[in-house]
Amino acid sequence: MIVKHIYYILYYMALVETLTNTQRYELKKKIAELRSVKGEGTTLVTLAIKAGTTSVQMSSKIKDEIGLASNIKSAQTSKDVCDALESASNVLKKYSGSGSLEKGLIIFAGNGITMDGKPKRFNIGIEPPLPCPNPLYRCENHFKTEILEGMLIDKRAFGIIIIDRGSCFYGIVSGDTKRKLDNFTSDIPKKHDQGGQSQNRIQRLRKEKIHAHLVKAGERARQNFMDSSNVPKIEGLILGGPSDLKNHLGKNHLPTELKNIILQTVDVSYSGEAGFSAAIDLASEAMGSLKYIQEKKILQDFFVMFKSDEDQEKLCYGFNNVEIALNTNAIKTLIIWEDLDILRREIVDPTDTDNKKTKIIYSKEKMNDVTIIKSELFIDWITKYVEENNIDIEYVTDHTEEGAQFKAFGGVGGIMHWALNLDYAMIEDDTELDDFI
């Protein structure tokens, strides 16, 4: 089991190194599109080819499946499935000269209805970012995207325990999220400073309650962070709290398997959720490979610069200003909220009587009485732009405190090589806020 745990750590570290940020975004976008497709009956074919399988081997299996599909009772369903398998076979032919498929191949084929209600024929082959572990063949009314989705989920996790006299809190940080697992309180009294026998009795009772509190904390740690075979489900453990209880817990009351993966012990002034957040910040280097930590770091840098009179000039934010900075090659790192749904529209300038001038509008609202030349999601447009111009891009979520703040800030910004004299006056004008949604 320990070997399996180490395998998953290395597996997802390999994923981090395999895909660029842009490639991850594009794959997530394609998965979302495929997941939304609906088919008539069981006519959408998903074919996962195991890593190392040759195209010749797979072609033979597809021919066998076409033979079986021809026996389906419903003539229309039989035809649709056979057509989808023929399409899958055509996709496979593109790889006929490559010998074995090193990482395998995921094929999606068939006639479906897209999210906007339009019919579309799908004939897509996706080389997975990680080796496909098992073969899969499904004919259903939807595509089976779970195998690709699973490859994008970073299953590495770090556990955090915040303990003080009054409570013990358990949380986990994994991928781009953090969450609470468990919490319990205790009734350990404060130190008794009166003299006499009463003080001795109360101090003895207090020590007994502290010991019971630590024993319970260790047992809950086992329940929250270990599986039924007593193997850690986490890559590392962080202990935090305002007192020395965290050190006693780590030395004397945790299972050996958890003691061995303690990465850091941090002093925090708070208990519960507040202590959890503080511990994440203090132990960020120990968990630095997680997307959650990387997002916090890049956004913390952004907001530190924003608060500095000197460095603020090297930031850009708002759609117009970001485009200006891009066009002058000033942006070093672009930051964008990954669920930004603003459209970038090129329209005929309504103030131009000759209808020759165009302008760019950023909005997600319906636009009437204007001539739209081109319309696409701003995030898709900018993803293509930075890819073509070799600009670093960071896609962030709103799962961190900083991410939620950045989303409210507009959801797009950049750290620049040099300062530009950009105009932010319009952000104060409510009539122009569409540019900064």
Are 175 and 146 in the same domain? no
Are 205 and 142 in the same domain? no
Give the bridge partners for 348, in sequence order: 358
pLDDT tops 80 at residue 431: no
User: Quick check: pTM over 0.85?
Assistant: no
- pLDDT at residue 196, rounded to an integer: 55
pLDDT tops 50 at residue 223: yes
Average pLDDT, rounded, for the chain: 87
Are 362 and 253 in the same domain? no
Are 207 and 101 in the same domain? no
Output the six-digit token pair for 389.
């111009």
Tens digit of each residue's pLDDT (9 = 90 or more) over 112-170: 999 888 999 999 999 998 889 899 999 999 999 999 998 888 888 999 999 999 999 99
Q: What is the mean pLDDT of residues 320-325?
A: 93
- pLDDT at residue 3, rounded to an integer: 43
Q: How far apart are CA 154 and CA 62, in angstroms?
A: 32
pLDDT tops 50 at residue 8: no
Q: For residue 319, give its domain range.
A: 295-436
Q: What is the DSSP letter of 203?
A: H
Q: Residue 47 maps to which CATH number? A: 3.30.960.10
Are 337 and 223 in the same domain? no
Q: How far apart are CA 130 and CA 354, in angstroms?
A: 54
* 10 falls within a domain: no
Q: Residue 182 maps to which CATH number? A: 3.30.420.60
Higher pLDDT, 155 or 327: 327
**Unique residue bearing structure tokens 């939807």:** 142
- Model confidence at 202, pLDDT cuts 50, 70, 90, reads confident
Percent of the chain with pLDDT over 90: 59
pLDDT tops 90 at residue 240: yes
Are 304 and 415 in the same domain? yes
Tens digit of each residue's pLDDT (9 = 90 or more) over 291-308: 899 999 999 999 999 999
Cα dist. 222→153, 171, 209, 218 in Å? 24, 13, 20, 6
Of 264, 289, 314, the domain-final residue: 289
Q: Which of helix, strand or coil describes residue 70? A: coil
Are 247 and 309 in the same domain? no
Are 100 and 224 in the same domain? no
- pLDDT at residue 233, rounded to an integer: 94
- Model confidence at 367, pLDDT cuts 50, 70, 90, reads confident
Of 253, 269, 289, the domain-final residue: 289
pLDDT tops 60 at residue 206: yes
* 20 falls within a domain: no
pLDDT tops 50 at residue 11: no
* 146 falls within a domain: yes
- Model confidence at 182, pLDDT cuts 50, 70, 90, reads very high
Are 168 and 274 in the same domain? yes
What's the structural domain count of the chain?
Answer: 3
Are 401 and 333 in the same domain? yes
Q: Residue 385 maps to which CATH number? A: 3.30.1330.30
Q: Which of helix, strand or coil describes residue 38? A: strand
Are 83 and 207 in the same domain? no
pLDDT tops 60 at residue 10: no
Are 273 and 309 in the same domain? no
Of 152, 177, 211, the domain-final residue: 152
